[in-house]
Structure 1
Amino acid sequence: MSKSLHRALMGSCAAILAASLAACGSGSAAAPATTSAPPPAQHYYLMVFTDVAAGDDTAFTQCFTSQRVPAARSLPGFVSVQQFALNVPQMFDVTVAMPKYLALYEFATADLNATMTAFRGTAGPASVGGCPADAAKADSYVYRFSAPLQNRTTPDPQVPAGGTRTDYTQVVFTVPAPTAGDKFENWYMTVHMPEVLARPGYTQAQRVALVDGQNHGPVPPTATAAVFRLDLPQDTPVTIASVSTGTVPNPGLTAQMLDPNLNRGYTYRALAPAAH
């Protein structure tokens, strides 16, 4: 065998041996551990509607501030809570009555069941040491944020002007008209909510969808809802006239989209600023 051939064969064997050793080494190394990312937190509104016995209003609101708010702040995923009272007069006439008080909680959590279990034990209407409310008549609904928050994009004329301003919320339980079909949600988000946000006093609007298995009370919730925020003088009689520009764009289309008998909205006035 020639020297050149011998050197070539030796070089090939060395290369093969090196490759084999590298392969063996890589096979024996432990693969890096992989961990799945935790699920993202989802935002929710918990709406707790409550009535109290005659004469218990002051005790209930004081208890809410001193007990319910601190308890809520300790819950996993807590963002905010605000207490409201049903306004008189209402913006719209409805046939289904709702309780006098509304506690509107916001949570951001990836484990809603854990948050709700903690809520029921420490801050809910039937929790130990609860406030003087009628837990049997309380309506409790959980709604998931189903779209981005919409903010007012035009200057607020602040009509009427003057006076100490306060927060209001308009909770609308939405039911589409039979003729709306699959056009309803897009119309509500892209047409109706921007139209409402152009009216005096309206500041924000949040579209939400019901979460199954977390709802209790005598009044059944709707599959979807909208939560509007308003900023108005405290002594404003919140009627449709006081927060309307005088015209409703395309009222015929609104009538085609919203069921006039089942769609219902309730105006609540804030009793205190939101607690965070």
Structure 2
Amino acid sequence: MPPRFLQIVSTQPSPDAEPEFNDWYENTHVPEVLRMPGFLTGQRFRLVDSVPPFDGPQYLAVYEIESDDIDATLRTVIEMAPGRTKSQSIDTTVSIVRMYEALGPQQRRADS
């Protein structure tokens, strides 16, 4: 099985654009990302609490990727970017994108 990776994306809507941001992200952006080679799953989250208080992006998207050549996968992401739908509802000045490589198998809690 090819190695697994997680792409973690922290984002924030533009001021007064949260409904548009959520609609675009959920119904347009995530489906477009999942059409790219290697992307298996995508899920979004919203920050509900933070200790200490956090003043950064409040939204998170997590994409699971499977790839034998993550550099080639990332080049494809960049090459396909112009064809993806853009939205003014996202504040790109605070977006943070990180890629993580899995270090071991996924573990699940054992039922007792």
Give the TM bin, normalised by the shorter chain.
Answer: 0.7 to 0.9
Shift in Å at residue 165 of structure 1?
Answer: 1.1
| Contact 2:38 2:73 (C-alpha < 8 Å) held by counterparts | no
1:232 aligns with 2:67: yes
Scaled by the length of structure 1, what TM-score is found? 0.35
1:197 aligns with 2:34: yes
Percent of residue pairs identical: 30
Per-residue Cα deviation, 1:181-234 (whole angstroms, up to 9, x for no partner): 421111110011101111111111111111214x459x755222111111111x
1:272 aligns with 2:104: yes
- For 1:221 and 1:240, locate their aligned partners in 2 and report how far apart those are by CA, in whole Å: 25
Scaled by the length of structure 2, what TM-score is found? 0.78
Shift in Å at residue 174 of structure 1?
Answer: 1.1
- For 1:193 and 1:228, locate their aligned partners in 2 and report how far apart those are by CA, in whole Å: 9
| Contact 2:9 2:96 (C-alpha < 8 Å) held by counterparts | yes
Q: How does 1:1-276 map to 2 (within 5 A)?
A: 165-178=2-15, 180-213=17-50, 215-216=51-52, 221-233=56-68, 235-237=69-71, 240-243=74-77, 246=80, 247-250=82-85, 253-254=86-87, 256-276=88-108
CA RMSD of aligned residues (A): 2.6
Per-residue Cα deviation, 1:114-172 (whole angstroms, up to 9, x for no partner): xxxxxxxxxxxxxxxxxxxxxxxxxxxxxxxxxxxxxxxxxxxxxxxxxx611110111
| Contact 1:204 1:229 (C-alpha < 8 Å) held by counterparts | yes
| Contact 1:200 1:244 (C-alpha < 8 Å) held by counterparts | no
| Contact 2:37 2:73 (C-alpha < 8 Å) held by counterparts | no
Amino acid at match of 1:241: R
| 5+ residue gaps, structure 2 | none
Amino acid at match of 1:222: P
Amino acid at match of 1:274: Q
SS of the residue corresponding to residue 237 of structure 1 reads helix
| Contact 1:176 1:263 (C-alpha < 8 Å) held by counterparts | no
Greater RCO (Cα-Cα under 8 Å, separation 6 or more): 2
After TM superposition, where is structure 1 displaced by more than 6 Å over at least 4 residues in a row? none
**Aligned position for 1:84:** none
SS of the residue corresponding to residue 192 of structure 1 reads helix
Shift in Å at residue 239 of structure 1?
Answer: 6.0
Shift in Å at residue 178 of structure 1?
Answer: 3.3
| 5+ residue gaps, structure 1 | 1-163
- For 2:47 and 2:75, locate their aligned partners in 1 and report how far apart those are by CA, in whole Å: 30
Shift in Å at residue 249 of structure 1?
Answer: 2.5
Instruction: Say how many residue pairs are matched.
Output: 107
- For 1:220 and 1:232, locate their aligned partners in 2 and report how far apart those are by CA, in whole Å: 34
1:238/1:265 Cα in 2 relative to 1: closer, same or farther (>3 Å)? farther
